[in-house]
Amino acid sequence: MTSGSNNNRLMSDINVTPFVDVMLVLLIIFMVTAPMMMQGVDVSLPKTTSESLPSKEDHIVITIDSNNRIYINDYHVTLDFLKEKLIKIFQGRSDREVYLRADKGISYGVVVRVMSEIKGAGIEKLGMVTEPIIDANKKKKS
What dihedral angle (degrees, nearest 10) is formed by the CA atoms of 38, 41, 46, 52?
-50
Average pLDDT, the chain: 78
Dump pLDDT digits (tens) for 14-58: 788 888 999 999 999 888 887 766 555 566 666 666 555 555 556
- What does the pLDDT read at residue 42? 62
> Is 139's pLDDT higher than 90?
no
Q: Which domains does the chain have, with CATH numbers?
A: 47-132 (3.30.420.270)
Find which of 7-16, 46-55, 111-120 is predicted with most confidence, using mean pLDDT.
Answer: 111-120
With a CB cutoff of 8 Å and minimum separation 6, the contacts of 83 are 117, 118, 120, 121
Q: In whole angstroms, what is the distance from residue 108 CA to residue 110 CA?
A: 5
Tell me how crowded residue 98 is: count the other CB atoms within 10 A of its CB.
21
